[in-house]
Amino acid sequence: MPRLKLGVLISGRGSNLQALIASCADPSFPAEIVIVVSNKSDAKGLDHARAAGIATAVVEHGGYRNRESFDRAVHDVLVGEGAELVCLAGFMRLLSSWFVETWHDRIVNIHPSLLPSFKGIDAHAQAIAAGAKLSGCTVHIVRAEMDAGPILVQAAVPVLPGDDEDSLAARILTMEHKCYPLAVKLIAEGRVQIDGDTAIIDMPGDTDDHIISPSVR
């Protein structure tokens, strides 16, 4: 079966990109990365892609007169490489409605909170400030509104007494690296059906797993 072709957009560290690279290295994984695009030439994630022999492109937004013209340049790179699904992996730019509509239901994003709670750039600080006892991460289909769209996969982690942004971010990041490959796998296997603002996932069976925080002893 042909593997789903991914275009991954990054702006920085690229640890989620690295998790996708690691999953795609398994020949039985149903997707492959055909291009990594960064809007920053010094993004660390570019090194992960190069080390894995994956094509990279830098499209710096400073060179474009507005958001849509930048997005059209990114689009041209993605189409040129045959990308079928766009994965935002720490891509810290809002996309134009033109791009979101052109790639309708074919853009996924990862965000470090249990959406729809705590949208935006300071999700960990928001969770701590709210006194949340659980937070986590969400992989979702992208809509024009920031950090919104049909939810594909979520993982929850406890927010522990004494947590600061860094300790909570580290706990969530471990889950991000599991959730992003899982979401891509579900899409590639045709197990995701988008119904308006929600995603229906074809999953065998059900579990009675649960998480209570603080845990009951």
**Least gap, CB of 16 to ligand GAR (angstroms):** 3
Q: Residue 150 interacts with ligand GAR (CB under 6 A)?
A: no
Full 3-state SS string of 113-156: CCCCCCCCCCHHHHHHHCCCCEEEEEEEECCCCCCCCCEEEEEE
Per-residue contact string for residues 51-80; x = within reach of ligand GAR by CB under 6 A: ------------------------------
How would DSSP label each residue in 36-70? EEESSTT-THHHHHHHTT--EEE--GGGSSSHHHH
Q: Which stretch binds ligand GAR (CB under 6 A): 28-36, 74-82, 104-112, 202-210?
A: 104-112
Residue closer to ligand GAR, measured from CB, 34 or 135: 135
Q: Residue 30 interacts with ligand GAR (CB under 6 A)?
A: no
Cα(4)–Cα(9) distance, rounded to whole angstroms?
Answer: 16
Which of 4, 15, 48, 127 lies at the binding interface for ligand GAR (CB under 6 A)?
15
Cα(13)–Cα(194) distance, rounded to whole angstroms?
Answer: 30
Catalytic residue flag (residue 210): no
Task: By CB under 6 A, name the binding residues for ligand GAR.
Answer: 12-16, 45, 89-90, 110-112, 147, 173, 176
